[in-house]
Amino acid sequence: MTKTILFLVCTFLSLGINAQSIIGAWEGAHTSEERGNLKSVLIVSEKHQSIAVYDADTGAFVSTNGGSWKLDGNTMTETVEFDSANPENVGREFSFEISLKDSTLEIPAMGITLKRIDDNTPGVLHGAWLMSGRNIEGKTELRDTDTPRKTMKILSGTRFQWIAYNTETKQFMATGGGTYTTEDGIYTENIEFFSRDNSRVGLQLQFDYEVQNGNWHHTGLSSKGDPIDEFWSPRK
């Protein structure tokens, strides 16, 4: 698969269907002549979505893109907020026809089929979140979530992805993701890809978490072993 085709796959996979049936996580597999066996994981919340492509065997990051989405009949339209492979697409809209049958999502024009991973359960943190603050050395630093510079975390019932990007400069900074669980106040991440450092793949991170007044607060250690005390607000 050429780079051009791979980009088109990523772009078209990053669109959704309707809020009652598409929300959750979807998975696809394809082969690249340059990169071998690749996995694509699509996470869709009520208004936002992201697609990550990475090596199915090693977890090596390949690309990601996403943004907001809407449905008009069977026509899906995405407004791109980040695109690691083609930043010039940030701010543009892409539309195409889709077909949903049972647990498969098809894009007929591209010959693409995705299989459902989950229907937004069982994890309780599903949705799109923006980092809104953190505690550092006992002091709370708040972040304005309405600026172009964003760190978004999007979760289904079993999958998560975080992305740091800037919609104004069209810059993609970093991303990571994998599977997660929420049990007895413990939020656990299992990292399947990490754009900045492939050695993080396979790590499991645990955090104490709580949701108060709609905001998500968690504390623990990062993949580097540094203390984390973060606040995330639901994306409007």
Least confident residue range of 1-10, 103-112, 113-122, 147-156: 1-10
The DSSP code sequence of 58-102 is: T--EEEEEEEEEEEETTEEEEEEEEESS-GGGTT-EEEEE-EEET
Burial zone of 124 (CB within 10 Å; 0-12 exposed, 13-18 middle, 19+ buried): middle
Does residue 80 register a pLDDT over 50?
A: yes
Write the DSSP symbol of residue 4: H
Q: Is residue 57 within 8 Å of 68, Cβ to Cβ?
A: no
Q: Is the peptide bond before 122 cis (omega within 30 degrees of 0)?
A: yes
Beta-strand pair 48-55/61-72: antiparallel
Provide the pLDDT for residue 18.
39
Does the pLDDT of residue 4 top 80, yes or no? no
* pLDDT, tens digit (0-9, with 9 covering 90-100), for 143-174: 999 999 999 999 999 999 999 999 999 999 99
Whole-number Å distance between alpha carbons of 201 and 236: 31
* In the block, residue with structure tokens 């009520």: 46
How is residue 234 written in tokens?
Answer: 């639901």
β-bridge mates for residue 205, sequence order: 189
Q: State the pLDDT at residue 124.
A: 96
Q: Could you tell me which residues come within 8 angstroms of residue 46 by beta carbon, excluding any fewer than 6 positions away?
A: 19, 23, 127, 128
| The residue count for the chain | 236
User: pLDDT digit string (tens) for 28-45?
Assistant: 998 888 888 999 999 999
Q: What is the pLDDT of residue 211?
A: 96
The mean pLDDT of the chain is 90
Q: Is CATH 2.40.128.500 what the domain over 3-118 is classified as, yes or no?
A: yes
* pTM as predicted: 0.89
| Domain ranges (residues) in the chain | 3-118, 127-234
Has residue 1 got a pLDDT over 60?
A: no
| Amino acid 130: pLDDT | 98
H or E element, residue 9 = helix 3-13
Over residues 197-205, mean pLDDT:
95
Contact 198, 59 (CB under 8 A): yes
Give the residue-averaged pLDDT of 109-119.
86
Mean pLDDT of 46-56: 95
Average the pLDDT over 173-193 and give the result. 98
Topology alike, domains 3-118 and 127-234:
yes
Rounded to whole angstroms, how far apart are CA atoms 209 and 187?
A: 6
Cα separation, 90 vs 44, in Å, equals 18
**Domain spanning 127-234: which superfamily?**
Uncharacterised protein PF14869 family, DUF4488 (2.40.128.490)
Name 24's Cβ contacts closer than 8 Å, sequence gap at least 6.
Answer: 43, 44, 116, 117, 118, 119, 120, 126, 156, 157
How does DSSP classify residue 223? T
